[in-house]
Each structure stands twice: as structure tokens, then as C-alpha cells.
């Protein structure tokens, strides 16, 4: 097999990925241990606070309203020019 490397080996995180080795595929043998590991990883996550979640949701809602108004205005302007163009051509 040919080993492929990043064009910038000095770049961080540019180590070549190893080819798939099917003999190393692990089959989950203990589901309880798997659930415990998932739980441990979930505790490592930095979850957003309620205030941060609310702020994010409000920002998404506000941007959706702004974009809806923008596209409504754009649609009305284009409709006006299209009607004007159709009246002139008839």
C-alpha cells in the first residue's frame, strides 16, 4: 500500500490516517460498560446554561423573522417590476 501524507507535515494534526485494518474492529461485548463510558463522556461535555439556550433560540427566531421580511420585500419588488414589464410588452 502507498502511504499518503499531508502536503504540510509540520501542520498540526496532519498525521496520515491509517488504512482500515479489519482485524482490529472491536465488537461490543459488554453493553453495560459501553453505557458507563457514554455516561462518563456526557459528563465531560460543557452544556449551555438555560440563559445561553434561551438567547440562542431568540437569536434564531429573530433572524428567521428578519429573513422572512427581507424575502417578502424582495418578492414584492420583483413582482412589481414583473407586472410593469408585462404591461409594457402587451
Q: Is residue 62 part of a domain?
A: yes
Q: How many domains does the chain have?
A: 1
Q: Is residue 79 part of a domain?
A: yes
Q: Is residue 19 part of a domain?
A: no
Q: Is residue 11 part of a domain?
A: no
Single pTM value for the model: 0.52
Distance separating alpha carbons of residues 59 and 53, to the nearest angstrom: 10
Q: Is residue 67 part of a domain?
A: yes
Cα distance from N-terminal residue to C-terminal residue, the chain: 70
From start to end of 1-90, where are the E strands? Answer: none
Predicted pLDDT of residue 29: 79
Q: What is the pLDDT of residues 50-83, one digit of tens each?
A: 999 999 999 999 999 999 999 999 999 999 999 9
Predicted pLDDT of residue 7: 58
63: region left, alpha or beta (phi > 0 left; psi from -120 to 50 alpha): alpha
Please report the sign of the dihedral spanned by the C-alpha atoms of residue 70, residue 74, residue 77, residue 79: negative
Amino acid at each position: 500500500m502507498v502511504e499518503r501524507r499531508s502536503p504540510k507535515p509540520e501542520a498540526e494534526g496532519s498525521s496520515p490516517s491509517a488504512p482500515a485494518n479489519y482485524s482490529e474492529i472491536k465488537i461490543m461485548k459488554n453493553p453495560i460498560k459501553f453505557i458507563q463510558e457514554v455516561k462518563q463522556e456526557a459528563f465531560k461535555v460543557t452544556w449551555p446554561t438555560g440563559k445561553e439556550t434561551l438567547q440562542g433560540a431568540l437569536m434564531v427566531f429573530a433572524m428567521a423573522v428578519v429573513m422572512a421580511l427581507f424575502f417578502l420585500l424582495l418578492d414584492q419588488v420583483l413582482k412589481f417590476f414583473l407586472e410593469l414589464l408585462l404591461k409594457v410588452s402587451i
